[in-house]
Structure 1
Amino acid sequence: MIKGITLVRSVPSADAFDQLSSLFNALGFEPGKGWHDDSGRGAAFLAPVGNLELVTGRVPAVPPILIEVNQLDHVHSAVERWMLAHYRTEEIAAQLSAVELTHWNSRLFTVELGPEMKLGFWQSENPLHGVVPAVEGDLNATGMRFAVVTTRWNTVITDRLLQGSLDALYRSGAAKKDVEVVRVPGAWEVPSAARTLAETKKFDAIVTLGCLLRGETAHYEAIYNEVARGIGQSQQDTGIPHAFGVLTCETLEQALDRAGLKAGNKGFEAAIAAIEMVSIQRKLAVAK
């Protein structure tokens, strides 16, 4: 089985070797095993993916060393900063190109460090380029049944979380008759209700909501640990997805921010996660 590929290229001088090594180190390449003896020096730089491209006929007008990156503009800035530390300003304008579009649906810039030392850094404009194929859930709740467990304690927060959850479910196609809301006294009771609902097998997913605010005693930690453990245990034992929307905050202000003011609505996010997990489970079941 093929394990990897290495292309060996010579550089014109020891100074060029040091320059190129310095640039690659500054950009965060993973160093490989190098060597140094009487005949010369070698340095390896590792990348997650390597390609060998063979060409016949016209050779593409690209540098002999092409490095694929993400966040190309940040890489361009990093190269420019490195060059400012090693070259005169007037030299950089001739050696470092601007980021430009190519005819092969990418953006590219080049760096010329000396004779026969031209590099190209590029990024594909295709958003799916290089994405690893994976099973992912769809955000379509049509035909799914959900139970939403929320609390009477801290209702100034949990009611906002509940509205966010219902908004997410209904927007995604869930029918109102397929969503059952259960209100328990406090966060401590959420796992028990979630477990009872999951064991009925009437629901495709359970959305758990609550709010715990830190006090001056250890009560907060004791409650939170048991709530998280109970919800997780219920999910593992029943096989029904449980979305975790129980806030654990230092202050009421932090909780309000997470219930729709400044940091999104965690109830909405929990419901979206529940929809996606139901979809994933159904796809995985079909694939068996």
Structure 2
Amino acid sequence: MQGADKGQSNRLDGRDLRIGIVQARFNDELTSEMARVCIDHLVSLGVQRKHIQHVTVPGALEVPVALQAMADSEKFDALVALGCIIRGETYHFELVANESGAGVTRVSLDHHIPVANAILTVENEAQARARVIDKSKDAAIVAVEMANLLDELL
């Protein structure tokens, strides 16, 4: 296959999409900003606010089960996972990062639904703050683009 994917720009039209967002409340100041940016960017891509369902859960480990419930409902074209895991002094960081990431991927593969994983895994709060806006916008773009791609493929 040569050249860039010519259909990519057409895939950024969110007008007919329904998107579910699961936000971890742990590090709430950061994750609430992520949700705001992601929702605003989804709207800028054409997704109607009334077609965006935003729920919160306690932390990153709870994100996959809420994503799974949304996927089970078959009401959504794509899902978004938002969270922020900041390294601490114990192994807990690795456990939460690895297990939440694996759970998000499992939901996507088991349910054949795109899940944009924007659960930040960072060393400190400064790194998190530096990534909040870009990763949140990226999650919106990935959700819309992948929902449209899967619609083309299936």
The TM-score range, normalised by the shorter chain, is over 0.9
Partner deviation per Cα, 1:73-112 (whole Å, 9 max, x = no partner)? xxxxxxxxxxxxxxxxxxxxxxxxxxxxxxxxxxxxxxxx
Q: CA deviation at 1:273?
A: 0.3
Partner deviation per Cα, 1:133-176 (whole Å, 9 max, x = no partner)? 56536111001000010021101110111111101110011111
Unpaired segments of 5 or more residues in structure 1?
A: 1-129
TM-score normalised per structure 1: 0.51
Is residue 2:32 matched to residue 1:159? yes
Match of 1:268 among 117, 128, 137: 137
CA distance in 2, matches of 1:227, 1:219: 12
Counterpart contact for 1:157–1:255, Cα < 8 Å: yes
SS at 2:12's partner residue? coil
Q: Which has the larger radius of gyration?
A: 1
Match of 1:76 in 2: none
Counterpart contact for 1:135–1:283, Cα < 8 Å: no
Match of 2:149 in 1: 280
For these two proteins, the number of residue pairs brought into alignment is 152
SS at 1:173's partner residue? coil
Partner deviation per Cα, 1:178-234 (whole Å, 9 max, x = no partner)? 000010011110011001101110000000000000000000001111000000001
Counterpart contact for 1:164–1:266, Cα < 8 Å: no
1:1-288 mapped onto 2 (5 Å cutoff): 131=3, 136=8, 138-260=11-133, 265-285=134-154
CA distance in 1, matches of 2:36, 2:139: 12
CA distance in 1, matches of 2:24, 2:104: 14
Q: Which aligned runs of 4 or more in structure 1 are off by greater than 6 angstroms?
A: none
SS at 1:138's partner residue? helix
SS at 2:128's partner residue? helix
CA distance in 2, matches of 1:133, 1:253: 35
TM-score normalised per structure 2: 0.94
Unpaired segments of 5 or more residues in structure 2?
A: none
Distance 1:211 1:283, change over 3 A: same
